[in-house]
A and B are shown apart, each in its own frame.
Chain A
Amino acid sequence: MKLYFYCLLGAAIPVFAQRPDSANTPNPNPFAGNSQAIADGREVYNDVCTACHGPDGAAGDKAIALGAPARRYSRNTDREIFDAITKGITGTMMPPNRVSENDAWKIAAYIRGLRGTAKDTPARGNVAHGEEIFWNKGQCGTCHMIRGKGGLVGPDLSDVAAIRKYSSLVAALTKAQHRVATDGGTHDSALTPLASYQPVRITMADGKVLQGVLRNEDSFSLQVFGSDNQLYLLDRDKLKEVYYVPTSLMPTDYDKRLTKEEFQDLMAFLTRQALPVPRRP
């Protein structure tokens, strides 16, 4: 049986949590946190705003990306975004838009979500059917685990909607060279496990070949999860070769192997995979 590595879905990215407008001001957006309204907001946004801004928060021909990583925005609250939509921005090409007040708030909630993670912009679709796709036709569960069920060689996806953006999930499922770029504005302050799930092919001193994914490495040792689901602890100077397989083993043709509806339902399922945030005691 061919073993797939569904590797990139869980790689770490910076997390921008959705925040209230300020510590003392309640969020005036009636749709804040309403997943259905945010999904509606995405539809309206992609219908109305993409003449200048790009689809799904990417940069467009005439205007900036509204959900770019590593970017600081001068309008961050729902109110500020709502005002920009309804009143335009003086001194720029941004005009006032004639969308309804409700739609403007929904777009604002969606744009806030773009700067958050997938759970802030859950996809519309049949969640139950998406789950069925995940475990069956999509074979996602062969490598990925959700709440203790599933495969071992890919990242756990139980909280994926809280750590990945919507666009990043789509890219992981459909773009061959997809990977998560480091945010240059920060640098590590602690040692963390490798998040790349880099596939490797290692030739041992005795000529045996080990295939698997890297869990960690430094200049002297490697920690590899073999395709036999075993953990290998290796010394670099005792290996003949460490070959870093240049492309991820994660299939990226889900837009072709699934129908449009199936893909949408899978996204509806994935964008709701977030663990509850513990309350402060």
Chain B
Amino acid sequence: MISSVRRALLAASFSCAFACSAGAQNYQDLIKPNPNNWLHYNGTYDSQRHSLLKQIDTGNVANLKAEWIYHMTGAVDLEAVPIVVDGVMYISQWNRVEALDARTGRLIWQYMRQPFTKGWQRGVAVYNGKIYIGTVDSALIALDAKTGNLIWESKTVGEGYRMLGAAPLIAKGKVIVGGSGKSGGWVQAFDAETGKYAWTWNVIPKPGEKGVETWEGDSWKLGGGPIWATGSFDAELNILYWGTGQPGVDFVGEIRPGDNLFTDCIVALDIDTGKMKWYFQNTPHDVHDWDSEETPVLIDAMFKGQMRKLLIQANRNGYFYILDRTNGKFLQGTPFVSQLTWSRGLTEDGRPIVVAGSAPTVEGSRVCPSTAGATNWPSPAYSPDTKLFYLVVQEGCGITYKASNNFTAGQSGSGTGYIESPIDQENWQLHVRALDLTGKTVWSYKQVSSKHYGPGLLSTAGGVLFAGEQQGQFTALDSTTGKVLWHFNTGGLITAGPSTYSVNGKQYVVIGSYANYIAFALPDAVIRDAAAK
């Protein structure tokens, strides 16, 4: 006798066999994704990385088992977040995309493009039957989702030399990518159907443009503000939100007096035109390479008694920011690390009050957090259920050097380096931390032996927070308490963010670990129990 659950699974299986749509997601699908799919680098346009799937929950996650392992031959340092559409998973490395059967990990197609290379690359985007990826040589390509065949290839505009490693973002028929050239970072848009160039927004202003007055003399020519992470999007407001990188010659501030706009900013861009609607600069005149690439997370929540459209970001400089995302107004900023020495706090406009003597020196200057950052690009998560913001925190300090007191604008390089503080109490240590919207730490989970930079997070409606540990453990935490519920040693360094999806009634959680993707699910008996509940 076939049980009702088995019948449901079979029915779903047949329906997929006839109707797997191979990436045929339209704009409405992207705005409100089917929870069975994982369509964006950060799950949804708001970058909350919160899945509505709840088959795996706090009560049964201890039963989670590895379903399959896919070894991406020749790959290293996997950082791509698997994108899943109707049972097909898309994974990537530089100039390489592979499509897998998301139930079994079996390869369906592989696309490779010269120049062949390997190393970190953070994923693809999907839209209307196509897969989009930036390449190591600054091109943007679209592949047919069913076959991996090339549909179009466009070169990004300008003298771009920076590798396009971040996953693109697709919205309103446009592919949005960030990058960097000699004169600075940029965000560019291309038509998703044809690859035709649409617009550019440049991080570094030129003479006559707003913001150039924040670079003394012609120091704007130093450039900087590279963009190498994926932003967020609010379809209702028609606004893209993106973080920008640090000013040129990272650690040498005296050759570029001023705030150096629009480096280290969160910017709001009109998706139709690329025009900037507002900006908020986290670290004016940065000398520590504290870029603002950290994910801008969009939430609608009660804040100080009022329902607000918020943008929240834990910044590399150690402050957790809450902004009004309709206008960029600073609402709150609180430290989320125990040691923050470079600033005495923030003004009511959110500008840091800088402590004298915290800038890099030739001899080396101690600063907390270090240049590695109080957090970094690995994605945070937000649960509308617990109303907690989850992030990977790096405690500790660093010593920052600059190469010379006589650095001139023509010299190349970042001007220096940094090291971990040699003092035991200031060594780097990663934690997963839950903050509420007052900035208070609700719980903190120490990832023993892990530091610099750690993987991203995934929140689920099952009350489980999935967190890879840099040292290879893939761990499930209780979203409310931070208690460990399950863990699995993947055997490789984890620097990727996890994603979750469902095929034929079975929820999977998948993580990249060094050169392998590993998918986990509950045993069928446990799924039946979950269904019965």
B372 touches A184 (CB 8 A): yes
Task: Say if the beta carbon of B475 comes within 8 Å of chain A.
Answer: yes
A65-112 with Cβ < 8 A to chain B: 65, 68-74, 91-92
The listed residue (B398, B416, B420, B452) touching A71 by CB distance below 8 A is B416
B418 touches A185 (CB 8 A): yes
Task: Say if the beta carbon of B487 comes within 8 Å of chain A.
Answer: yes
Task: Say if the beta carbon of A277 comes within 8 Å of chain B.
Answer: no
The listed residue (A64, A184, A217, A236) touching B403 by CB distance below 8 A is A64
Q: How many residues of chain B are within 8 Å of chain A by beta carbon?
A: 47
A219 touches B484 (CB 8 A): yes
- CB-CB under 8 A from B370, the residues of chain A are 184
The A-B contact count (CB < 8 A) is 103
- CB-CB under 8 A from A261, the residues of chain B are none
- CB-CB under 8 A from B404, the residues of chain A are 64, 92
- CB-CB under 8 A from A185, the residues of chain B are 417-418
CB distance from B501 to the nearest CB of A (A): 26
Stretch in contact with the other chain, from A119-127, A130-138, A151-159, A186-194: A186-194
Task: Say if the beta carbon of B371 comes within 8 Å of chain A.
Answer: yes
B401 touches A70 (CB 8 A): yes
CB distance from B454 to the nearest CB of A (A): 10
CB distance from B103 to the nearest CB of A (A): 29
The listed residue (B363, B371, B399, B403) touching A72 by CB distance below 8 A is B403
CB distance from A190 to the nearest CB of B (A): 6
Question: In whole angstroms, how far apart are the Cα atoms of A218 and B472 in the complex?
Answer: 9
A190 touches B514 (CB 8 A): yes
B449 touches A182 (CB 8 A): no
B452 touches A191 (CB 8 A): no
CB distance from A246 to the nearest CB of B (A): 6
B449 touches A194 (CB 8 A): yes
- CB-CB under 8 A from A64, the residues of chain B are 362, 403-404
Question: In whole angstroms, how far apart are the Cα atoms of A179 and B426 in the complex?
Answer: 13
**Which residue of B is nearest A237, CB measured?**
B484
Specify the main secondary structure of chain A where it touches its partner: loop
Task: Say if the beta carbon of B173 comes within 8 Å of chain A.
Answer: no
With a 10 A CB-CB cut-off, give which of B371, B417, B428, B447 has the most chain A CB atoms.
B417
Given contacts A187-B452, A191-B472, A194-B449, contact A220 B487 (CB under 8 A): yes
Task: Say if the beta carbon of B315 comes within 8 Å of chain A.
Answer: no
The listed residue (B416, B420, B447, B473) touching A181 by CB distance below 8 A is B420
Q: How many residues of chain A are within 8 Å of chain B by beta carbon?
A: 32
**Which residue of A is nearest B487, CB measured?**
A220
- Write the A30-68 contact mask toward B (1 if CB under 8 angstroms, else 0): 000000000000000000000000000001000011001
Given contacts A71-B403, A189-B77, A219-B484, contact A184 B473 (CB under 8 A): no
A218 touches B449 (CB 8 A): yes
- CB-CB under 8 A from B492, the residues of chain A are 190-191
B407-438 with Cβ < 8 A to chain A: 411, 413-414, 416-422, 424, 428
- CB-CB under 8 A from A65, the residues of chain B are 363
The listed residue (A92, A177, A187) touching B406 by CB distance below 8 A is A92
- CB-CB under 8 A from A217, the residues of chain B are 448-449
Task: Say if the beta carbon of B86 comes within 8 Å of chain A.
Answer: no
Given contacts A71-B417, A183-B419, contact A189 B411 (CB under 8 A): no
B binding-site residues for A, Cβ under 8 Å: 76-77, 362-364, 370-372, 398-399, 401, 403-404, 406, 411, 413-414, 416-422, 424, 428, 446-453, 469-473, 475, 484, 487, 489, 491-493, 514
A-B contact pairs, 24 of them (CB 8 A): A59-B363, A69-B419, A72-B413, A72-B414, A72-B417, A91-B406, A92-B406, A177-B422, A181-B399, A181-B421, A182-B452, A183-B417, A184-B418, A185-B417, A189-B493, A191-B491, A218-B448, A218-B450, A218-B471, A218-B473, A218-B489, A219-B449, A219-B484, A220-B473
